[in-house]
Amino acid sequence: MTHKEKTEQFLHQHYHCSQALFGAFAKDFGLDLKTAFRISTCFGGGMRQGGTCGCITASLLVLGMAFGFYDSQDKEQEVYGNQKTEEFIKRFAQGMDGVVCCRDILGRDISKPEEMALVRKEGLILKKCPRALNLSIDILEDMLADYLKNIKETSIELKDIPENEMHRVLRGISKRNYFQRNVSELLYTSAERIAFIQFDIQKFKIVNDLYGEKFGDEVLDFIERQLEKCCNERQFFINLRSDVFMVVTEYKNERELQAFIRELDSQTRLFKSVKLQMSFGVYTVEDREMELRQMEDRAAMARKAAKKNILRNILFYREQFKESLYNRKFIEENMQAAISERQFCIYLQPKYSITKNEIIGAEALVRWLHPERGMIFPDQFIPVIEENGFIKRLDYYIWEEACRFIKRCEAAGINNCPVSVNVSRIHLRDNECIGILSDMIKDYSIPKKLLELEITETADDQQISMKALQLKEEGFTLLMDDFGSGYSSLNILLETPFDVIKLDRKFMINMMLSGKGRLILEQVITMADKLQLGVLAEGVETKEQVELLQNIGCDQVQGYYYAKPMPEDEFYNLLLNKGEEQAGN
Ligand code: C2E
Ligand code: MG
Ligand code: MG
CB atoms near residue 11 (< 10 Å): 21
Work out which ligand 1 atom sits closest to the CA atom of 377: 26
Residue 72 has pLDDT above 80, yes or no: no
Residue type, 453: L
Residue 74 has pLDDT above 60, yes or no: no
Distance (angstroms) between ligand 1 centre and the Cα of 419 equals: 14
Mean pLDDT of all residues in 417-435: 91
Ligand number with the minimum distance to the CA of 398: 1
Pair 211, 58: CB distance under 8 Å: no
DSSP letters spanning 480-531: EEEETSS---THHHHHS--SEEEE-HHHHHHHHH-HHHHHHHHHHHHHHHHT
Distance (angstroms) between ligand 1 centre and the Cα of 365 equals: 6
Work out which ligand 1 atom sits closest to the CA atom of 504: 3
Cα separation, 537 vs 508, in Å, equals 8
Pair 248, 230: CB distance under 8 Å: no
Cα separation, 247 vs 264, in Å, equals 10
Phi-psi region of 223 (alpha: psi -120 to 50; beta: other; left: phi over 0): alpha
Give the residue with greater pLDDT, 279 vs 241: 279
- Nearest protein Cα to ligand 1, atom 24: 378
The reported pLDDT for the residue numbered 225 is 93
pLDDT band at 69 (very low <50, low <70, confident <90, very high): low
Distance (angstroms) between ligand 3 centre and the Cα of 559 equals: 10
Give the residue with greater pLDDT, 44 vs 583: 44
CB-neighbour burial class of residue 406 (10 A; exposed 0-12, middle 13-18, buried 19+): buried
Cα separation, 23 vs 14, in Å, equals 13
Cα separation, 542 vs 497, in Å, equals 31
Distance (angstroms) between ligand 3 centre and the Cα of 424 equals: 12
Mean pLDDT of all residues in 451-468: 77
Mean pLDDT of all residues in 182-208: 91
CB-neighbour burial class of residue 228 (10 A; exposed 0-12, middle 13-18, buried 19+): exposed
CB atoms near residue 325 (< 10 Å): 12
Distance (angstroms) between ligand 1 centre and the Cα of 248 equals: 40
Above pLDDT 70, what percent of the chain?
88
CB-neighbour burial class of residue 369 (10 A; exposed 0-12, middle 13-18, buried 19+): middle
The reported pLDDT for the residue numbered 77 is 65
Q: Cα-Cα-Cα-Cα dihedral of 222, 225, 229, 233, to 10°?
A: 140
Q: Which of 247-261, 442-456, 491-505, 540-554 has the lowest mean pLDDT?
A: 491-505
Q: Which of 307-321, 469-483, 567-581 has the lowest mean pLDDT?
A: 307-321
Work out which ligand 1 atom sits closest to the CA atom of 424: 44
Pocket test for ligand 1, best of 379, 382, 454, 500 (most atoms within 8 A of CB): 382
Q: Which of 35-39, 489-493, 555-559, 560-564 has the lowest mean pLDDT?
A: 489-493
Pair 186, 248: CB distance under 8 Å: yes
Mean pLDDT of all residues in 350-361: 97
Residue 83: C-alpha distances to residues 25, 78, 372, 402, 536 (Å): 21, 9, 60, 63, 66
Tens-place pLDDT, residues 200-233 = 998 888 888 888 888 999 999 999 999 999 999 8
Long-range contacts of 128-132, Cβ-Cβ distance < 8 Å, separation of 24 or more: 129/11, 129/17, 129/54, 129/55, 129/105, 130/8, 130/11, 131/96, 132/17, 132/53, 132/55, 132/92, 132/96, 132/105
DSSP 51: T
Q: Which of 81-85, 344-348, 386-390 has the lowest mean pLDDT?
A: 81-85
Pocket test for ligand 1, best of 343, 351, 365, 502 (most atoms within 8 A of CB): 365
Residue 425: alpha-carbon gap to chain centroid: 15
CB atoms near residue 90 (< 10 Å): 11
The reported pLDDT for the residue numbered 165 is 41
Cα separation, 355 vs 37, in Å, equals 72
- Nearest protein Cα to ligand 1, atom 44: 424
- Nearest protein Cα to ligand 1, atom 33: 422
The reported pLDDT for the residue numbered 31 is 67
Distance (angstroms) between ligand 3 centre and the Cα of 501 equals: 10
Half-sphere exposure for 412 (CA within 13 Å, toward CB): 18
Mean pLDDT of all residues in 513-541: 90
Work out which ligand 1 atom sits closest to the CA atom of 540: 18
Helix segments in 27-164, DSSP class H: 33-50, 54-67, 75-95, 102-106, 113-121, 124-128, 130-160
Pair 385, 335: CB distance under 8 Å: yes
- Nearest protein Cα to ligand 1, atom 41: 366
Tens-place pLDDT, residues 128-178 = 889 999 999 999 888 877 766 665 455 444 444 444 443 454 455 567 777
Work out which ligand 1 atom sits closest to the CA atom of 558: 15
Average pLDDT, whole number, for the chain? 86
Q: Are strands 358-370 and 419-423 parallel, antiparallel or unpaired?
A: parallel
CB atoms near residue 246 (< 10 Å): 23
- Nearest protein Cα to ligand 1, atom 16: 539
- Nearest protein Cα to ligand 1, atom 21: 539
Mean pLDDT of all residues in 229-255: 92
Which residue ranges have their beta carbon within 6 Å of ligand 1?
A: 349, 365-366, 377-379, 382, 391, 395, 398, 422, 424, 454, 481-482, 505, 538-541, 558-560, 565
CB atoms near residue 224 (< 10 Å): 15
Ligand number with the minimum distance to the CA of 423: 1
Work out which ligand 1 atom sits closest to the CA atom of 398: 41
- Nearest protein Cα to ligand 1, atom 23: 539
Q: Which residues, 6 or more positions from 277, have their beta carbon under 8 angstroms from its beta carbon?
A: 201, 202, 203, 269, 313
Ion ligand 3 nearby residues (CB, 5 A): 481-482, 538
Q: What angle do CA 102, 103, 105 make, to 5 degrees?
A: 65
Distance (angstroms) between ligand 3 centre and the Cα of 90 equals: 66
Mean pLDDT of all residues in 254-276: 93
- Nearest protein Cα to ligand 1, atom 20: 539
Per DSSP, the three-state class of 250 is strand
Cα separation, 504 vs 488, in Å, equals 11
Q: Which residues, 6 or more positions from 254, have their beta carbon under 8 angstroms from its beta carbon?
A: 284
Distance (angstroms) between ligand 3 centre and the Cα of 558 equals: 10
Mean pLDDT of all residues in 384-402: 94
Q: Which residues, 6 or more positions from 266, have their beta carbon under 8 angstroms from its beta carbon?
A: none
Ligand number with the minimum distance to the CA of 365: 1
Residues in the chain: 585
Cα separation, 72 vs 498, in Å, equals 44
Pair 283, 295: CB distance under 8 Å: yes
Cα separation, 28 vs 31, in Å, equals 7
Work out which ligand 1 atom sits closest to the CA atom of 560: 18
pTM score, whole prediction: 0.57
Pocket test for ligand 1, best of 348, 422, 560 (most atoms within 8 A of CB): 422
The reported pLDDT for the residue numbered 317 is 92
Distance (angstroms) between ligand 2 centre and the Cα of 453 equals: 9
- Nearest protein Cα to ligand 1, atom 45: 422
Q: Which residues, 6 or more positions from 345, have their beta carbon under 8 angstroms from its beta carbon?
A: 366, 367, 369, 401, 567, 568
Ligand number with the minimum distance to the CA of 483: 3
Using the Cα atoms of residue 359, residue 363, residue 364 and residue 370 in order, give the sign of their dihedral: negative
Give the residue with greater pLDDT, 203 vs 331: 331
Work out which ligand 1 atom sits closest to the CA atom of 502: 3
Q: Which of 72-86, 344-358, 549-563 has the lowest mean pLDDT?
A: 72-86
Cα separation, 511 vs 407, in Å, equals 38
